[in-house]
Structure 1
């Protein structure tokens, strides 16, 4: 019922006549970047209860327990009034103990880098209704219950601690932690950014041992940033940042036995120039598994060892001619039977799921086909079912599937075409589906594991109705074949009141980085829609190297970052310029981060094609960027100097002809402003004119307060003036 009403509202938008359109409201930058006019509602803080029958979620500041079956509230776990009683205003996250009698509350979090943070944690006792601070000795990071719920481990000041909840006693596990030197229990900058996790410790299943990372950053060189912050004498912030080809941290894995109060070093080999991408505990019996990659990231080994003496054996190995794709949290899953595990691999040319025994022998390839599994959700081990997200129908869409581990048969559970993801209950009896598409804002529904829909949790019908009041033209998907014979996917947003007899200027938007995707069937209103109101055609194309089209398409850019990608964006501009309704003399391009690198390359190497470009936080020389990311896709600088230099914008500055705006934050810890400063130095020496916006104390995302409002207003003004 709600779905039908939603579709009708958007259909009305698309069918309305031109005279009527002229009277509709216009989207403003303020709507998008300040007011949140088109922000979709969601369901946050979802956590399944142990019984798999109920779940909890935030309701305002309250944490409420709901029945999956009926949707009715069955209990209120914690109220805003209870928080206020103990001096707390709100909670941003929470975790139940294993017996669900206690809740770990996260408040007052403060970011360090992209994923890392410090926070104040509290323990809520559901029986006594008391809330107590986890520690009185300063903020903590990544506080986590032990599986038996008796203790909580956390990180403070580069050391690991745990608190015995029965006695309140705090125990310090490591003592050598020191900023810019030794890190215990959390990751260094490059691991956090490129392997995607900040918490670097794991409780053993029996709660007797804590496995943890130790990073020795001593040999890593410092990078310096000035933090102004309104001070008369600004601070100099220094942190360890390994650039391509430079030395990384020496990473060790230890297991701390709580009873013996002793740490044992695990044997991960003699090579100190490698990565441990993840650690995981096996099941029945519990041993520690470590996913090891060599420096070039083209060989992966899963090591399994005893926490008692640190000895290890190799469970599984895999090599790749180019690189092993990023290891994520879902890469390695050990089954409770203690005899099998599941990994994903591209060894047949596409990313698929594989079942192995504990001797490292392949039991079964779970998924097969000329398409990629994009996310492994988990395994219903009782019924032998694996759930995953794939781009099997189209690279531009995502579907939810279930695979039978015994028969190998897969079945699609999602029914809506677009972008699907799911959060399952404990025991995999229910799941909450999150669906959206270019014509449907976030639709959140509850389902049985069979796929049968039980009810709608949020349909965003009000948002769907609201957009019908505005001048919005829909995205249109298209494909074209480049002069090299490559088929590329794209979308375009045509100007409001589009007249095919007219010729329009074009702004191309893209990211283009390895395994990324911008051409997806998903909901989103952005400043592209404002541009469409102003008479611009907006185009986005995913070139070679982007995701969900198999390993060969994804990895053909290896060793030459920016070469094929730039060729494809130039080919896109030429294709778009050939359309009867496009003014080929007025084509611009913009992008952020890797997309900024690309927009610079486009206006430099395609100087006669592009009239203007905007580059936000761009990499201008791959020698300036971090080791893990850059070497994964480009190898080592000494082994591949041309791959680093041939397509770095800094080496093409003298080719600039069009108008160029460069934007960067001075506190960008990811892509340092050094990139932009070194590049504009080259422009100056080449006597090239450029425009630049610098954002003091802003990081890679350039946000906070009214910053985004001012930033995107600048973008819009620049396009209107120069395109």
Structure 2
């Protein structure tokens, strides 16, 4: 018996040790956090209109939870929906329902919209509206009486089944109702419905003057070319106007917006009374923005509310946000002080007050509590590596932090502002979800997720703070091999992006920031990543350090990281590798050509090679135009530097990339051939700028194999 018990003990200990030392598969390293290693979450959370309960999806059902009693109950189930449906109409899976009230909602299936309504103890499903199968950019009227959408390049209204063509442009390069300006300036859509549902504002983009660019579909024989309009830096840009369609009179007119036809129309906002439209008119140089008010009925200019100018660039990112029940007072988000903050404006009086101040940025506005005169927001007030929730009194500017717990917080505010759904993670906390009473700050936990990685062999991760040449702190992470021995020397992979609108290093889960880093640590690599100047959430000075000279300041900062790595006794300075995608691919290639003795091996994905071939809006913001900054463009151009390559370079590109077009890397290949330079190259047919889905596993296996072949030895 003793022998048997001892055997069982060894078996238990062996299983325990194995459980603590699992290795990531490449599939888990790439997609695990979205599949079998996903952190438990509350799915499809939303507040009830009264703020006294909330909804969430469960298996084949929606649940409603009462805040006062904390009691959860089934709101509607798949069984209840199917109970009154004919056999041929029964639902196989539970649909995603948008609730208007707790007794009524709607869902869509195969371009058909259905109402779901409570009838006593039962629920009934009835047909509502059928939308064209080719419909895109669908927007719903707030009175629930219909939809506005696009089919190809024109705009349509379907109101209670009656379809009206709002536009009828036969020229395919005149596009209505879609996002414009390459989705820069915070632009996400092209349809703007007035609050009273009487009018529809929409973008109209004339692209006829923009050159065609070929995107080849290789999946058919023979291959088929689809031209897109891609305005490259320094070339003619499209012309955008803003139309207004009056539903009652079935008429449309365009706002009388004066100025250069190549200017940018941003921050489109309806006044709450539906009488005016506000437009941020930004010049093509992007250094002068006028916030103008226009009459929605006549289209005529009313007045300029304010103007923002810069010696570098102005970048509006958000529409006006009107205070509750006010036609005159609104919040404007601006970086004019060097950091993104909230400003209270009045349509008639102008600037009322700056609501938030400090050397930190507001990253999101969550909403209002009208009774308490409070605005709720997310900011980097504690640290650029964290996000926290705050409220500010808009009358006396008193600010209060709402939730504890270090890390990255975000929230969903109830309609009346009385309740806040707070969810966050940090390096050691996968996810915590709390409900906060914004009046009392009493907090109730509704989820503390277990660590899905607890059985895996995890590396030690150290936070690193370095200094740029001007003393600016730079935040990074070093991930050590799982079998780390300080007496050994290890190869290092530097992963970087270091471009605008991105931040790699935050206090979030997992601490590494990416399971592929941990996968490589299990294979015996050190992985290092750092956000240098040019990246986001550190203020304008930090971001604008790259202005007119893309790649230069960023490389100086990343070289500080290299110097730090070389100072470590366990780093093999002769085995440094580098990897990045998009702007990171540009940085990776730049390093291999401008500092060819630093890195032995590089993998550059979707890289910008020549900024003359990147789109106008982004490029001219950070680089000015090629005509005004020829030296900066020449300095950043990598085509005439390919002969400097010494190490091993693998370049990867999506064959249908419509962001960094394929010609960037094709031209680089031609330059390599012309100079007799050997390099490696791989293309992903069917993929645009990013390689996603199951093929991403193939991509990261290729990247891994390349480092194994040339860096690990």
**How does the TM-score come out when normalised to structure 2?**
0.91
| CA distances 1:136-178 after superposition (whole Å, capped 9, x unpaired) | 543322333323222322222222222222xx22222222265
Partners of 1:369 and 1:510 lie apart in 2 by 28
Aligned twin of 1:186: 178
Asked if residue 552 in structure 1 is aligned to residue 541 in structure 2, the reply is yes
1:210 to 189, 200, 218: 200
Asked if residue 32 in structure 1 is aligned to residue 26 in structure 2, the reply is no
Deviation at 1:87, TM superposition (A): 5.5
| CA distances 1:187-223 after superposition (whole Å, capped 9, x unpaired) | 24x433x244443112212211111111111111111
1:710 to 694, 698, 701: 698
Deviation at 1:121, TM superposition (A): 4.3
1:687 to 663, 668, 676: 676
1:147-186 matches, within 5 Å, as 147-165=142-160, 168-176=161-169, 178-179=171-172, 181-186=173-178
Aligned twin of 1:124: 115
1:366-381 matches, within 5 Å, as 366-381=355-370
Partners of 1:545 and 1:661 lie apart in 2 by 25
**1:593–1:77 Cα change, 3 Å:** same
Secondary structure of 1:126's aligned partner: strand
**1:46–1:154 Cα change, 3 Å:** farther
**Does the 8 Å CA contact 1:662/1:693 hold for their aligned counterparts?**
yes
**Does the 8 Å CA contact 2:78/2:93 hold for their aligned counterparts?**
no
Moved more, 474-483 or 561-570: 474-483
| Aligned-CA RMSD value | 2.5
**Does the 8 Å CA contact 1:285/1:338 hold for their aligned counterparts?**
no
Secondary structure of 1:570's aligned partner: helix
1:306 to 295, 312, 316: 295
Deviation at 1:456, TM superposition (A): 3.1
**Does the 8 Å CA contact 1:80/1:89 hold for their aligned counterparts?**
no
| CA distances 1:259-288 after superposition (whole Å, capped 9, x unpaired) | 110002112213211111231111246421
**1:172–1:130 Cα change, 3 Å:** farther
Partners of 1:646 and 1:27 lie apart in 2 by 41
Partners of 2:590 and 2:349 lie apart in 1 by 45
Aligned twin of 1:539: 528
Structure 1: segments with no counterpart, 5+ residues = 1-15, 109-119
Secondary structure of 2:392's aligned partner: strand
Aligned twin of 1:112: none
Secondary structure of 1:576's aligned partner: helix
1:103 to 102, 105, 108: 105
1:310-349 matches, within 5 Å, as 310-312=299-301, 313-328=303-318, 332-349=321-338
| CA distances 1:229-277 after superposition (whole Å, capped 9, x unpaired) | 2x22111111111111222221111111111100021122132111112
**1:223–1:89 Cα change, 3 Å:** farther
**Does the 8 Å CA contact 1:292/1:301 hold for their aligned counterparts?**
yes
Partners of 1:668 and 1:587 lie apart in 2 by 29
**Does the 8 Å CA contact 1:413/1:451 hold for their aligned counterparts?**
no
**Does the 8 Å CA contact 1:265/1:310 hold for their aligned counterparts?**
yes
Deviation at 1:80, TM superposition (A): 6.7
Secondary structure of 2:612's aligned partner: helix
Deviation at 1:78, TM superposition (A): 6.1
Partners of 1:510 and 1:453 lie apart in 2 by 41
Partners of 2:585 and 2:577 lie apart in 1 by 13
Secondary structure of 1:467's aligned partner: coil
Partners of 2:524 and 2:533 lie apart in 1 by 29
**Does the 8 Å CA contact 2:195/2:273 hold for their aligned counterparts?**
no
**1:390–1:600 Cα change, 3 Å:** same
Partners of 2:639 and 2:371 lie apart in 1 by 57
Secondary structure of 1:546's aligned partner: coil
**1:484–1:657 Cα change, 3 Å:** farther
Structure 2: segments with no counterpart, 5+ residues = 1-12
Secondary structure of 1:650's aligned partner: coil
| CA distances 1:53-79 after superposition (whole Å, capped 9, x unpaired) | 233333235344333444544552563
**1:482–1:142 Cα change, 3 Å:** closer
**Does the 8 Å CA contact 1:204/1:281 hold for their aligned counterparts?**
yes
**Does the 8 Å CA contact 2:30/2:516 hold for their aligned counterparts?**
no
Secondary structure of 1:711's aligned partner: helix
Deviation at 1:650, TM superposition (A): 2.3
Deviation at 1:52, TM superposition (A): 2.2
Deviation at 1:597, TM superposition (A): 0.6
Aligned twin of 2:638: 649
Aligned twin of 1:509: 495
Secondary structure of 2:130's aligned partner: coil
**1:667–1:277 Cα change, 3 Å:** same
Deviation at 1:684, TM superposition (A): 1.7
| CA distances 1:498-524 after superposition (whole Å, capped 9, x unpaired) | 222222111111110124211111113
**1:102–1:507 Cα change, 3 Å:** same
Aligned twin of 2:7: none
Deviation at 1:48, TM superposition (A): 2.5
Partners of 2:676 and 2:229 lie apart in 1 by 35
Partners of 2:171 and 2:99 lie apart in 1 by 31
Partners of 1:92 and 1:325 lie apart in 2 by 39
**Does the 8 Å CA contact 2:579/2:602 hold for their aligned counterparts?**
yes
Deviation at 1:345, TM superposition (A): 1.4
1:404-415 matches, within 5 Å, as 404-415=393-404
Moved more, 126-135 or 393-402: 126-135
Asked if residue 296 in structure 1 is aligned to residue 285 in structure 2, the reply is yes
Deviation at 1:719, TM superposition (A): 1.0
**Does the 8 Å CA contact 2:155/2:165 hold for their aligned counterparts?**
yes
Asked if residue 721 in structure 1 is aligned to residue 709 in structure 2, the reply is yes
**1:226–1:430 Cα change, 3 Å:** same
**How does the TM-score come out when normalised to structure 1?**
0.89
| CA distances 1:532-565 after superposition (whole Å, capped 9, x unpaired) | 1111111111111122222211212111111111
